[in-house]
Amino acid sequence: MAAPGPDGAVVEWSRADVARLGELARLALPGEALLDDDLASVCFDGTWPEADGRSVVLATADGAGAVALTTRPGFSGTEAFVQLLAVHPDRRRAGIGQTLLAAADRWAASCGAHRLRLAGAAPYYLWPGVDTLWVGAAAFARASGFTVDGEAQNMALPAGARAPTPDGVAIRHVLDDGDAEAVRVLVRSQWPHWLAELDRGIEHGCCVGAFDGDGAPGAAALGFCCHSVNRFGWLGPVGTDPEAQGRGIGGALVGAVCRDLQVAGLRSVEVCWIGPEAFYASLGGVRSRTFTLLTRPVGER
């Protein structure tokens, strides 16, 4: 399982170590309810092949800490992102975080990355950045030379949120190939940067589409909404064709996803990296979390 590492201090974890990573992540971040499935899909299957990306999970030999990394294309070349950094609560302030960061730096440099980011590695990520309530992580990042590069918000939506389906529109789960292709056509034309998340939403059976007319096979897609693409119970991406906006389609789609998640046992749905706040507020959403996006040059320290 644990392959020999790039140096004596760390080893590489493979997908077979996902349960170990899950146990460590849940101990390190007890409020997050991270599932092994979330970690498998983001940390081990979170490479973005279209962008020629690479990913790795590095851990201390005793398993007390781990860091999951991936690369994404930046404006001026490859960048490396920390997907998860976790140290066992009983082993903190002993330099394990720094050891992992040094290994992360070496890995990033070997990928040709010039920046290391503590920020959401869209399309596959666990958080948009570092939660401002994670005081220890923020102090660690400051002490490690990271600087703030932006901010992102999540919102909480009651799982009971619903909105009526507008006339002339059919809302249904995107299950068959024809509906999947119709939604892809819409997303490709309006938000091509969401295609990877959409495909994963469809693959997970977690995509709802809005279709024109009575929704007969072959009908054009007017909108879509996914959930549980990266994190179970997190909502997004969501979009309504600009020409069909203002008819209540977005609200009906979000309501349909909330119904699925309520049936799955959730009382509240997390909307990640919110777009228009007023839209979610109209469905009962409230700001719930603030994240800082942090960065430092590779090899800085």
Ligand X SMILES: CC(C)(COP(=O)(O)OP(=O)(O)OC[C@H]1O[C@@H](n2cnc3c(N)ncnc32)[C@H](O)[C@@H]1OP(=O)(O)O)[C@@H](O)C(=O)NCCC(=O)NCCS
Q: Which residues bind ligand X (CB under 6 A)?
A: 28-29, 65, 84-87, 92-98, 130, 134, 136-137, 139-140, 143
Please report the DSSP string for 228-273 in residue order: SSSSTTEEEEEEE-GGGTTSSHHHHHHHHHHHHHHHTT-SEEEEPS
For residues 33, 35, 36, 37, the Cα torsion angle rounded to the nearest 10 degrees is -160
Among residues 87 and 219, whose Cβ is nearest to ligand X? 87
Going from the C-alpha of 252 to that of each of 14, 43, 109, 230, 261, the distances in angstroms are 41, 32, 46, 22, 14
Q: How far is the CB of 229 from ligand X (least distance, A)?
A: 18
Q: How far is the CB of 195 from ligand X (least distance, A)?
A: 26
Q: How far is the CB of 120 from ligand X (least distance, A)?
A: 11
Among residues 138 and 274, whose Cβ is nearest to ligand X? 138
Among residues 134 and 191, whose Cβ is nearest to ligand X? 134
Among residues 56 and 226, whose Cβ is nearest to ligand X? 56
Among residues 105 and 260, whose Cβ is nearest to ligand X? 105
The residue number whose beta carbon is nearest to ligand X equals 97
Q: How far is the CB of 12 from ligand X (least distance, A)?
A: 18
The H-assigned helical ranges of 57-161 are 96-110, 135-143
Q: How far is the CB of 201 from ligand X (least distance, A)?
A: 23
How far is it, in rounded angstroms, from Cα 98 to Cα 175?
45
Q: Classify residue 143 as exposed, middle or buried by CB count within 10 Å of its CB (0-12, 13-18, 19+).
A: exposed
How far is it, in rounded angstroms, from Cα 301 to Cα 271?
35
